[in-house]
Chain A
């Protein structure tokens, strides 16, 4: 089955800096890669996703890149703000054959200092 590794486990940055979180996956058949943000005491919520037919996707200050050859994908947050502080999870799925099952990484605790 799929295995997703996420690094770093914790990340501390100053407000305005960029933050990068990286994930690797094991199953070359995976073709859908979402990122979830979980604030303290709240539910995980999708912030961005990418499919294997594209290499990069941006949404305002958030971007995700995918390297299928190396089997890794990354989340980039620019101009970080204190409200970006949360736990971020990456995930991978094999579209269409796994009934939507996602395999999650272990999570990254991002702290943005004012």
Chain B
């Protein structure tokens, strides 16, 4: 099992640029979660999907953030335009089902916006 896969692992961009983060959940997992981690705010849940449908996006900071899950094996988190305060580590996690809550985290994408 390859585990949750995220790309890129590191991203450095300039303010105003579009950033797209990618995630491939563990095969067969039905729930997918996007988190942001910073020293100041800890681990924040941004949005999560169940069976490819967004369930709760109340954690998305503002309209500059959007997420999609076009199929069971792929999700994207997009920031447009990016700002320096978006600098953080973004984790994707997946779980088997709503009744099996163990979440398996990907390696994360370390984003730096200059």
Contacts and interface: CB of A to CB of B under 8 A. Distances in A.
A106 B106 CA distance: 20
B105 A45 contact: yes
B100 A104 contact: no
A46 B31 CA distance: 17
Contacts of B106: 43
B97 to A, nearest CB: 7
Contact of B45 (A45, A101, A106): A101
Q: Is the interface of B mostly helix, strand, loop or mixed?
A: strand
Contact of B102 (A34, A42, A43, A104): A34
- What bracket does the count of chain B residues touching chain A fall in? 20 to 34
Q: Is the interface of A mostly helix, strand, loop or mixed?
A: loop
A100 B56 contact: no
Contacts of B55: 99, 101
Best-surrounded residue of B42, B55, B106 (most CB of chain A within 10 A): B42
Contacts of A106: 42
Interface string A35-60: 00000001111100100000000000
Interface of B: 31, 33, 42-43, 45, 48, 50, 55-56, 91, 95, 97-108
